[in-house]
Amino acid sequence: MRFSVGGRLVVGLDHGFGASAGGELDPCPVAPARDPVDIDVSRSADVAPPISVRRAGDGGDGWVSALAADRLHLMRPGGGGCVVDGRPGELPLRVSADAAMPAWAVMRAVVRPLLQLGLPVRGAGTVHAAAVTRSGAGVLIAGWAESGKTEVALALAERGWSILADKWTVLDGEGRMAPFPVRAGVRGWVLEYLPHLRSALPVRTRWRMRAASRASRGIERLAGRDGSPLSGAALDITRRACAQGERLSVTLSALREMYGVVSLEPAHPQLTLVVVLSTAASGPPVARPLGAQTALPRLYASAAYERRDGLALLLRRQFAGGEDAALQATATERELLTSALSDVPLIEVSCPFPSDPGHVARLIEASL
């Protein structure tokens, strides 16, 4: 199986990965057989590093690594491992994983970071933003983690827009947009404001998400009382359990189907507006123009924060004596994105979070 990421880069999966790994690349289309593979992903039993090679132990990210020539060995303490052959930030690359490493772990922890480092080689980068499109126009919805990007994109989908991407969007130097393969995360509290999506979800899913959302609010009220039995580790565990029950992880293809979107035309819409969300303590949403000199450093900072886990694997390579490929690729990506974003209108929308994302959607439409 071969998949085209952003129309720029091809990922090949051998038969050892199957449909589950292909689902991790949703909604990327199948690439023609004639296209060369940039990142080849396969199964192999030969992933352990040589005994004589120096290892970097678990630094808190759950991995043990070693660098032998251009082979980066990545081993999970709980079992399983993989090898990256080649230099990240250059193409082509080969990723080989043993049978003990789940397909989803290979794709999310290794392949996706390599995709983000490889795209600049092919003339594109990734923006930490959701994206929607309508009538060939594209809007990026950016912001810090947990600022409401997905919720605003869904609110625009309720108003007739099509969701192109969630969390990460591929953008080339000419401002053409494409989805990056990552699932959308829908939280239970927002269903109150999204009647179309709410009606499209199975009844059991709606009940689970609503129940977890109510439980989460009740737990926060209880935790705020003096003498509450919920504190420390117990509170953290309870919060994580509620968050997991409240959130729905769904592929972009499935999400589009819920809104009746069969295909996106054009496949790579032109960026026409960038919206940067910021969180306000109270009050209605407020939109204001935002200069590129202010917006771009914020976009790069949020992207660096969201990439921290993937880049940590590459920093292990640098520690073992490899080149700083992550820094080189990031510099190339910044040049591409600066070119693509410098002439596009930018606005900042400040609003409380969580709150009705429909108010922000209407402000965005009024700004077009």
Q: Name the DSSP class of 158.
A: H
CB of 274 closer than 8 Å to CB of 341: yes
Listed by start position, the domains of the chain span 2-48+77-122, 124-187+259-367, 190-249
**Residue in this structure with the two tokens 């309870």, named with its chain if needed:** 238
Rg of the chain taking only CA atoms, in angstroms: 21
* pLDDT score of 325: 60
**Token digits for 171?**
């953008």
The sign of the CA dihedral 362, 363, 366, 368 is negative
Contacts of 132 (CB under 8 A, 6+ apart): 138, 139, 141, 153, 156, 157, 161, 162, 163, 164
Please state at what angle helix 325-341 crosses helix 308-319, rounded to 10 degrees: 140
Q: Which span out of 6-20, 217-231, 272-286, 326-340 was modeled with the highest average pLDDT?
A: 272-286
Provide the CATH topology of domain 124-187+259-367: Rossmann fold (3.40.50)
* pLDDT score of 76: 85
Confidence of residue 132 (pLDDT cuts 50, 70, 90): very high
Would the pLDDT of 111 be above 80? Answer: yes
* Residue count of the chain: 368
* pLDDT score of 229: 64
CB of 96 closer than 8 Å to CB of 89: no
Q: Which tens digits make up the pLDDT trace of 274-321?
A: 999 999 999 999 999 999 889 999 999 898 889 887 777 777 877 777
Chain mean pLDDT for the chain: 88
* pLDDT score of 323: 63
Whole-model pTM over 0.75: yes
How buried is 90 (Cβ within 10 angstroms: 0-12 exposed, 13-18 middle, 19+ buried)? middle
Q: Residue 338 half-sphere exposure, CB side, CA atoms within 13 Å?
A: 10
Q: Which tens digits make up the pLDDT trace of 168-216?
A: 999 999 999 999 999 999 988 899 999 999 999 999 998 888 888 777 7
Which is it for strands 93-97 and 162-165: parallel, antiparallel or unpaired?
Answer: unpaired
Confidence of residue 107 (pLDDT cuts 50, 70, 90): very high
Would the pLDDT of 134 be above 90? Answer: yes
More confident residue, 9 or 70: 9
Strand partners, 163: 132
SS3 assignment, position 217: helix
To the nearest whole percent, how much of the chain has pLDDT over 90? 54
* pLDDT score of 44: 92
- Rounded distance, CA 150 to CA 63, Å? 30
Amino acid at 291: G
